[in-house]
Chains A and B, each alone.
Chain A
Amino acid sequence: MTRELWKGNEAIAEAAIRAGLEGYFGYPITPQTETLEWMSRRMPELGRIFLQAESEPAAINMVYGAACTGARVMTSSSSPGISLMMEGLSYIAGTEVPVVLVDVMRGGPGLGNIAPSQGDYNQICHGGGHGDYHPIVLAPASVQEAVDLVPLAFDLAEKYLNIACVLLDGSIGQMMEPVELPEMRPVVRKEYAWATTGAKDRSRHVLTSIYLEVGLEEEVNLRLLKRWEAIKANEVRFKEYYLDDAEIAVIGFGTAGRVALSAVRAARAQGIKVGLFRPISVSPYPYQQVAALAERVKSLLVVEMNTGQMLEDVRLAVSRRIPIEFYGRLGGVVPFPDEILGEIQRIAKQPPSLEGHPAQRWLERMTAPQR
């Protein structure tokens, strides 16, 4: 296969199509609209289903209905649109049908802006919709990685009858990079024992998320949790860079992790023993791996494009074994490698404290009067 120059949002759409996507339902929102546009042209020309919905709630509920037929289906949106989809996502989780969601995150809260952000981490990974459920969330750091994770998201969603989300920020959605797209896979409509396709020559199928009998609802919750335990055991993904002899480990996902890698390389050139741990599955989170990392290095630096949402997962994994520092940029600001390099240099010079909260220290530094 040759490498071609592709825009992130379009490459994601094409990767989904080549993974055998049968139906796409979406609504325009910057910075993910190119996915919708690409689908609007490509899906009909392949004889597949594309529909622009009247709203994000409609889009996710169309996807919900389409998923009930057993077809490979997805939607995509950006932060405010994802908020609107949360109701549908909870129903999808409660009905146990496979759906893929792409969230191209932008600055928030509220209407925020259309610049890259990682502010949806908690909403996507730790809830959002009501009730007890856990989506699988994969966070690419490049267009190529996004292209590679989209087909995986479908496979995981269908394997576990779970929501699988590809979580990226606006910069990956908007940037063009050389990528190798996968081969076109044939569309395969799987024969699920639950799909609502009309009860011809079989007993009927009912897909629902209502269980008025509390015992039954508890059973459903236990089943979902058991499935999540299997996902946690089998589907943790991450990448390590320069960690073999590292004394400082930077942890960042997606674009923040990618920028941090440049900073790590620059610091290495200056002789600082620093490496990068980049979670790819941010849900299930690589808690064990981060805990093991804390045994190998002396301090951690968590870098995010939010106020420290993943930081709390790192703290959960590390406890108070080693000091953690945090560096975040907000509101659509992408950190420069130099900023992160500065943090690495500061930590190398003066190991941070075990006391206090890393995000509080960061906030004090961020808001200190400029000299």
Chain B
Amino acid sequence: MKGKAMINIISPKNLVYSRPKAFTDTPTHYCPGCTHGTAHRLIAEVLDEMNIADKTIGVAPVGCAVFAYNYIDTDFVEAAHGRAPAMATGIKRLLPDRVVFAYQGDGDLASIGMAETVHAAARGENITVIFINNTNYGMTGGQMAPTTLPGQKTTTSPNGRDVELQGYPIRVAEMLATLEGVGYVVRRSLHDPKNIRLAKKAIRTAFEVQVRGLGFSMVELLSTCSTNWGLTPVESLKWLEEHMLPYYPLGDYKIAPSVAAVKI
């Protein structure tokens, strides 16, 4: 009631910010301080701007974003854990003129689904992957992920990740950049407004790459997980900046020549 009343007092000429059309009017289930909602919204804004929501099929992961389809208002399928790139491949091959994107977390994409990720990228599969890296398994309660930082405490590395025993975190964007089939692979972050704007631009580029048939595109988004990190939302943003950025530098890891030539 209160929300409606507030909307009514905004005259159309003063309206500078509203819910994207490709975003459903549903409160998300995400924790306070989580950046999934931001990432979802950026995708919805890009779908609106490109006017492609009605030809887009999303592939949801297993993880916190399992219900991404409750918020992003396109046709959607829900994949098995890690298999989103394979499912997206099946859809895209049968419907090459549609836009197909997978939305995946780090456990989904970089652990159980690494084979599907690498091979979809190697094939140059014309799909877009939005990769949420928050250094842990969020939905199951904060276990160690392939992206967990050295020394980082999780429920399955209670003394901190010991690289001698548990190995090193994987830099997915850098790794995929070595593959010929990749058109566009970048890493962005969601920890402040400037970076969120840059993240949106990258998401837009990734979808444009797909629409133009220029190969596999992925945007890795450094994200927060306040609940499992045991930090407040503000502390989480700071933690991301201080701890994740040094290990996961932001940047463009592969921009194929055909992509570089595209003006967006």
Contact = CB atoms under 8 A, between A and B. Distances in A.
B49 interface: no
Contacts of B80: 61, 64, 87-88, 91
A63 interface: yes
Contact of A206 (B76, B79, B98): B76
A93 to B, nearest CB: 12
B66 interface: yes
Nearest to B56: A198
A201 B89 CA distance: 24
B90 A207 contact: no
A262 interface: no
B75 A199 contact: yes
Interface in B72-117: 73-80, 83, 86-91, 93-95, 98-99, 115-116
A207 B78 contact: yes
Q: Which 8 A-B pairs have the closest CB atoms?
A: A65-B90, A65-B87, A66-B90, A61-B86, A208-B78, A62-B90, A54-B119, A61-B83
Interface residues of A, number: 39
A208 B67 CA distance: 10
Contact of A68 (B91, B99, B115): B91
A252 interface: no
A62 B92 CA distance: 10
Interface of A: 22-23, 25, 49, 51, 53-55, 57-59, 61-69, 71, 73, 87-88, 91, 95, 196-201, 204-210
A68 B78 CA distance: 10
Given A54-B115, A199-B75, A88 B57 contact: no
A25 B55 CA distance: 24
Nearest to B96: A49
Contacts of B69: 206, 208
Given A68-B77, A198-B75, A53 B86 contact: yes
B90 to A, nearest CB: 3
B75 A197 contact: yes
Contacts of B76: 196, 204-208
B206 interface: no
A61 B90 contact: yes
B43 to A, nearest CB: 15
